[in-house]
Structure 1
Amino acid sequence: MADTAPHATKRDLLILGGGLVGMTLALAAARKGMTSHVVDRADPAELTAEGFDGRASAISTASWRLFRHIGLEQALEPFGCGIASIAVTDQMRPGRIDFAPEPHEGTLGRMFANRQLRLALFEAARDEP
């Protein structure tokens, strides 16, 4: 008898890791018509639970364009804030490098709580094969 369980369904991609990168890859592939199976030992319900992860991620301008291209802009826009400048230092050593966008460039990226990124990715992926 053939195994017809969901894990036995043939997919175009097998993605190991359902974190921010793995889920972004799965969703981007789906938008191009590719099917995938994402394998991760973590439970998505735990990863998106209130209080699970208080961290935030800086999303570069290029990554924000990718998120917009794969349809996440509406789900994420209300929860992010623009990055107006970035200062880079090296521990306690003197000196620093400052980055600021040109007036016509907008921001250097956007900041999002990891939970909001996960919620948007999991919700969008739920409707994909």
Structure 2
Amino acid sequence: MNPAKQYFEALRTWAYPQASRYADKATFRAAIAEAAERINTEGRYSRSPDQIDRAVTNCTDWIWSRFIGEGTAARRTIALHVSAAVDQVLQVRADTLGITVDELATRWVLAGLATEVIGSGEILELLAKHCPST
């Protein structure tokens, strides 16, 4: 793998699990930019400032558009595989946590809790384990 791809892969790998921690794209981008500088230095990738900026922009845009916000890919994926009853439970859990169902779904995906299509029983177990009612 060439150095540019190695660099982007390192940045992307760092960024995925971080995304759900940020409420807005600008803050997420700033965190990726900081990590990009560190990764460039520690990994001795010798990327120029313009190359780093392009990698940060591409990484931010791709992750944000697919995993954060309204109509996310994560939410659409989960919606295709859960019944209305389970969706209602998801809404109650999200309301209890003060977040949207999209954010709840995004957290699962980014945390690796939903690496494959899982049954509704397993989703409820994950909810009970990782998003307890208050």
> TM tier, shorter chain?
under 0.3
Which structure's relative contact order is higher, taking Cα pairs within 8 Å and 6+ residues apart? 1
TM-score by length of 1: 0.24
Q: Higher strand share goes to which structure?
A: 1
TM-score by length of 2: 0.23
Q: Higher helix share goes to which structure?
A: 2
